[in-house]
């Protein structure tokens, strides 16, 4: 019974890196065909190529995540600079717009303020996205209900 020859870690890394640009543009079948035609010396079974494809996709995801984090940090820095300039000119409308863009960048939602009424007194200020509920509470406050 002969043992299959295992590739070294360095060889595996090289092969995976060879597939990184392909995983975003080619199907599994196309990659298998590419490996069979261009890298006959690799002598791989489909299962081994599938493992390499999975590792290559993981690298692409990690690169994308790093790029996204860098882009978000750069955008935030630019927004902060614009905010400071607008604030120094007392352009609060632009400041508000910039803040909304920053909130959007980080997936924050804008909340409408709402007042809770207890025994005809305003006790607690909370936040809600439900503008109908806000209108209802404000109407209660005005009408004294």
Task: Kindly tell me if the per-residue pLDDT of 124 is higher than 50.
Answer: no
Side-chain half-sphere CA neighbours of 46 within 13 A: 5
Q: What is the arithmetic mean of pLDDT over 46-52? A: 96
pLDDT band per the 50, 70, 90 thresholds, residue 72: confident
Note down the domain range covering 23. Answer: 7-107
12 and 57 in a common domain: yes
Asked which of 44-48, 68-72, 130-134 is least confident by mean pLDDT, the reply is 130-134
What confidence score (pLDDT) does residue 22 get?
Answer: 95
Co-location of 69 and 130 in the same domain: no
Q: Is the pLDDT of residue 126 over 70?
A: no
Mean pLDDT of 21-42: 94
Residue 135 lies inside a defined structural domain of this protein: yes
The C-alpha atoms of residue 145 and residue 142 are separated, in whole angstroms, by: 8
With 90 as the cut, is the pLDDT of residue 102 above it?
no
How far, in Å, are 37, 43, 117 from residue 40 at the CA level? 6, 6, 76
> For the chain, what is the domain count?
2
* 65 shares a domain with 93: yes
The percent of residues above 70 in pLDDT, for the chain, comes to: 70
Indicate if 11 and 66 belong to the same structural domain: yes
CA dist., res. 95 & res. 118, Å (int): 35
* Mean pLDDT value of segment 113-121: 54
Q: In this model, does residue 123 exceed pLDDT 50? A: no
Same domain, 63 and 122: no
């Amino acid at each position: 019974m002969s043992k299959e020859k295992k590739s070294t870690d360095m060889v595996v890394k090289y092969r995976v890196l060879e597939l990184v640009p392909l995983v975003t543009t080619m199907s599994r079948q196309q990659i298998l065909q590419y490996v069979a035609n261009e890298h006959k010396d690799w002598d791989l079974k489909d299962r081994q190529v599938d493992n390499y494809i999975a590792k290559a996709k993981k690298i692409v995801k990690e690169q994308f995540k790093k790029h996204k984090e860098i882009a978000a940090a750069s955008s935030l820095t630019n927004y902060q600079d614009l905010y400071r300039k607008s604030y120094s000119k007392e352009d609060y409308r632009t400041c508000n717009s910039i803040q909304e863009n920053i909130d959007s960048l980080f997936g924050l939602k804008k909340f409408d303020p709402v007042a809770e009424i207890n025994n005809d007194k305003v006790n607690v200020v909370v936040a809600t996205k439900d503008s109908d509920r806000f209108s209802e509470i404000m109407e209660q406050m005005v009408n004294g209900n």
